[in-house]
Amino acid sequence: MTNHAHQQNQRPLKPAQGRAVVIFGGTFDPVHYGHLRAASEVKEALSEAELRLLPSGTPPHRDHTFANAQHRLAMLELVLKNHPDFTIDQREILRNGPSYMVDTLKSIRQESPDISLSLVLGQDAANDLDRWHRWQELFELCHLIVMTRPESASAYSAQLTPQMQQRSTQTQQRLLAYQHGLVLHLPITQLAISSTDIRQQIQQGYNPRFLLPVSVIEYIKNHQLYR
C-alpha cells in the first residue's frame, strides 16, 4: 500500500527506526530564556525524541563569536545540569574549520543512519534557508521544524516555497515515523530576548537579570565576558 502523502515528495519517505533526535542549534552567546523556552516547547511537542542543543563552533556566517566555544559550552552545561531531558552535542566545537550545518548533519547521520532526525529553525532562519551551504541536501538528511510566531510571516523565496509546501506535514507523528524530508511548522512562544541585547546590556553596565538563568549570569561575571 502506498500512502498518498509519500507521493507529494520527490522521493518516498523512509520509515525511521530507533530514538528520534531533534537538533536545536545556535551560537548560545550566551544561552538565554528565549532559547530555553523555545527548546522546551519543541521537546514537549516531540516528547519521545532526544532534544540536543548544538552550540556552533566557528559559525560560517559570522566573523567571530563574543565568548569562545569553551565558555559557550560551559554556560550551556551549567543550565542543563538541572534539566537532564536536554542533551548537548559538542561535535561542532570539537571539529576545526567552519561549521556547515550540512556537514554536522551528515556526521550525525553516519552515527544513526535510520533515525528520525530533525533540525529546529526560527522562521527568520528558515526564510533564508536557500542561502545556506548546499541547502538542498538538508532534506536528504533531516526534517525541518520551523518555529513560527503570529507576528512574523513566512517569506520563502521562489525556490524555497514549493519545497516547503510539498514537504509540509501537520503532525509531529509523521516526523517521528520517517527519517527525513518533511517540514513541520510549529507555533512557539517567542520571548523578546536576544543574545545581542544581553551582550549590549552587560557592556553598557545594565543588569540582564531575568533574561537568562542566574547561573549563567554568575558565570559571565566570574569570567568577565561581554565587557
Q: Does 35 bind ligand ATP (CB under 6 A)?
A: yes
Binding status of residue 52 toward ligand ATP by CB under 6 A? no
Buried-state track 187-210, b at ≥16 Cβ within 10 A, e below 16? ebebeebebeebbeebeeeeebee
> Measuring CA to CA, which residue among 188, 193, 180 is closest to residue 34?
193
- CA distance linking residue 42 with residue 39, whole number of Å: 5
Size of the site for ligand ATP (CB under 6 A): 16
Q: By CB under 6 A, name the one of 73, 146, 195, 220 that touches ligand ATP.
A: 195
Nearest approach in angstroms of CB 120 to ligand ATP is 6
For ligand ATP, which residue of 7, 47, 171, 196 counts as binding (CB under 6 A)? 196
Is 57 a residue that touches ligand ATP (CB under 6 A)?
no
Give the closest residue to 82 by CA, choosing from 215, 219, 217, 193. 215
Can you tell me which of 50, 86, 87, 122 binds ligand ATP, judged by CB under 6 A? 122
Nearest-angstrom CA–CA distance, 58 and 174: 33
Check residue 220 for interaction with ligand ATP (CB under 6 A): no
Nearer to ligand ATP, 13 or 138 (CB): 138
CB atoms within 10 A of CB 219: 19
Binding site for ligand ATP (CB under 6 A): 26-29, 34-35, 38, 121-122, 125, 190-191, 193-196
